[in-house]
Amino acid sequence: MNLDFFEGLGLYHGDGGERNFTSKTPELIERIICWVRKYKLAPSIHAYIIYSAGHDTRRMRNLLERYQIPYRVYEYPHFTAQVMLQFPRRLSIPSVKPTTSEEIAAYLRGTFAADGYVKHSTKYQYQTLESLKISFNQNSEKQRAIKISQYLARLQIKSRISITKHEGKIIITGYNNFIRFLKYDLIAFPRYKRRKFIRLLRNAKMHSSVYISERREIFKGNQRKLARKIGCSQSSVSLWKSGKCGIKISHLEKIVPLENVTIERLFIRTEEIEKSLIPIILSTW
């Protein structure tokens, strides 16, 4: 199966029922329509637009008309505009499960698009990323939550399941886990979720340090003057030069542009990040 099949499967498991799929996000509605038609999972689709007065449904109408899907419109008070796609019977989904890391990432990408949300912290002047959460029905979806948590663990992402009387949540915290979400592109759509995730990640003041190949050339000369310029101790410069510890990116930028050095290793909160991630992480600062 292609990766887009598992993306659609995760999305459908999140917002779909046995014979329907409901969402207020046109981007997700369009993805499900294309997924069902591409893999011939249902013979036909029809839809309902449900909204309350004051909500604009033109984008939803245009989407359904573009894909030639018949629809009816119902108005209810205090109801957020949304579309329900209705299938004549249960979808004929092949009984396959994601096994490789790429397939698991694709499935989680669809799952987060449907049920995930990005929570920000307001404790500081600049909003930063506090946690990522995936909601589930606390009564009927416990096994699904356990499976999602296991899939996250396969990608070395730590999570915990929280179940209360009113809701269930899978909670992901810690910047090492956030960086892995970035690595596997688990928040690729809808666009507003991805924009928020990247913006909050850029606002973060991560405890990061790098080891560079040109350290002997960069830190040669009078170490006392160099330490005064950077705003650190002379012993720190000596350790950076010998390669016994990494230098903070904020310190390194005071003496040389990042594009002029070769970064060998990068650490975030004492955990080493593989070399392939360095360009992605640096692009978020």
Q: Are 252 and 245 in contact (CB under 8 A)?
A: no
pLDDT digits (tens, 9 = 90+) for 113-169: 999 999 887 665 557 788 999 999 999 999 999 999 999 999 999 999 999 989 999
Cα 216 to Cα 103: distance, rounded to the nearest angstrom: 43
Cα 154 to Cα 156: distance, rounded to the nearest angstrom: 5
Q: Are 124 and 205 in contact (CB under 8 A)?
A: no
Q: What dihedral angle (degrees, nearest 10) is formed by the CA atoms of 145, 147, 153, 155?
A: -110
The pLDDT assigned to 181 comes to 93
pTM of the model: 0.78
Cα 246 to Cα 210: distance, rounded to the nearest angstrom: 5
